[in-house]
Chains A and B, each alone.
Chain A
């Protein structure tokens, strides 16, 4: 039964990681940018929750969605659009800079201490299910993620702009050459990544009950690892990567000897490095991200 319990933990954690990974992978696929500031989108969502926690749920959710989307679009417009033609290393550093910037703005306004946010505390209780005790939050997380991912897949498959985004992800220049508006596609990607980030922030705040200016950092590192493992740029890849890392993480937590457990994240990253040797392009190779000779 412990195994089943762990399995559910793994799936729900994997779902969150998959959402975070997708946020990173989506932007990477259209812009070759690894957006470190994605963590700050999550953090901004969290702080919006903090500010509006007394409001009705629907208002809160809407506000978070709007704030993260606007912040994402703002980042794109101000910091990343001028750098669109830059090399990947410059893009990476610039996202680092944006991350640092947003963190310290929030630090300046709110201070460094974590602050409690009672968001959806009713999800903290568990349900009895086939002899297992499953926290309601995990159930909601898994269902929401599945619905969201299905929605995204449908969006990419059936909508015009979704098709354009897929084309841009494969061959950005050619997409422009058939008339796809670069700015529009990239803006959409950022807006969607903002929404994905807000989902992650809902989970994090509900789970931990607090927000702090550094709350996005850990998540973005895991998201980054997940999307590399799964293969950046596809919904399937992000999902796969996220779930894998979730499984690895929960398994390590459960099966590592007690005195090694604090090092769990180090193990995750060591596995990540090993993975880089095995499959540097990710499990689901997305087209030619390496130099074509």
Chain B
């Protein structure tokens, strides 16, 4: 009893509880709305839309997962285990696609692969004037775009697994007479499994919750359908039902991944770590490796970026670079900065309490904050919308609810860097400071804060970056006069004004690059 009261009394605790509440309550509201819907609506949706949407969503996720598995692991293996000219450059270049939001890549590919587009012209030179290629507005188009955009997740995690793996396992296998290929198959890949699974889980969640690419490529998934229901119907019941299914689907993916990861945990003998030897191919092999990597980076980043630059300098695009355009830049910046600041401020007490006083209540609050993981943008928007229009309509149509949606949506990304930062400092350091006579506030300022500062910076940058690129929630919740760069890209691109969309898209990509560099460079973690 006493402990409970103590817990509740702490102001930090109250902040954490309030944050968890503001994240969970909207979701509960949507769930209640979906479950209390008229069974007729449910059965109608089952009879008409749900089977198609479910199978589309799952098959898109599966297709993208298979392709990213192949692309991610093969590229990681090449840069980690072979040596070729410019290897370090390629190592970095393979991450670049992460700077391209899916809607940007999607709109570039609907031009490249579109009817009468450049790729079709090339193909017709080879296969005759009547030859057609697959339409980008199809399953294959959506799969290709999403795979090119997300394979760096698998690449990054596989690469770090390969680099930190103790090479002696493989050497033992080779010494026992196992062939090189068989070693790869029976030793290396199984050891990488947890990392690969984590990478693919990221990919699948990303695909399931993507709105930008599927809306521009007109591929019907659950996320897209939620958005369509919200914008095309006068009540949100059907949208809540589809949202509930979507959240359920994402949860299933997430739980499966956790389960796999728990079953396959490996322990390495750390003492005798040695960097693995890099294999050198002959000139033919080297050319093949570079061509392969060049094709991937070209398709996923270089060609799209070149097109964006070319379009941005076209006269049509130049004429849009007026005061209005800079207003959009300012809106994007100010919204992203506010969301990032709010996210860090809200995330801090949650992460701090969970690592310092891991009571069930505190851990629960932290888990609640991770709910945003399985809330795609339109669902986050719907949740916030329903919640605020019922309970606090005064905020409806203001910047506030947009920021709440951002924080709900992107807090997990921030927590992932706040949590380890707080965990790595032992309470001893603070206790030493206290016994040496520092007050509580000074201990925070002079011991705890400097230690967690880098985690803060990374969390802030991550939320900033994701908010700046965010599309569906912004579309649904933006107040008057708050069009952002992402909105402009989508508006122009959805009417196929490719040139007009280019300057905004290019700016988003350029702004994402330094943040990306910050995230992948290991120095930041070490400092």
| Binding between chains A and B | no
Residues in A lying within 8 Å of B, measured CB to CB: none
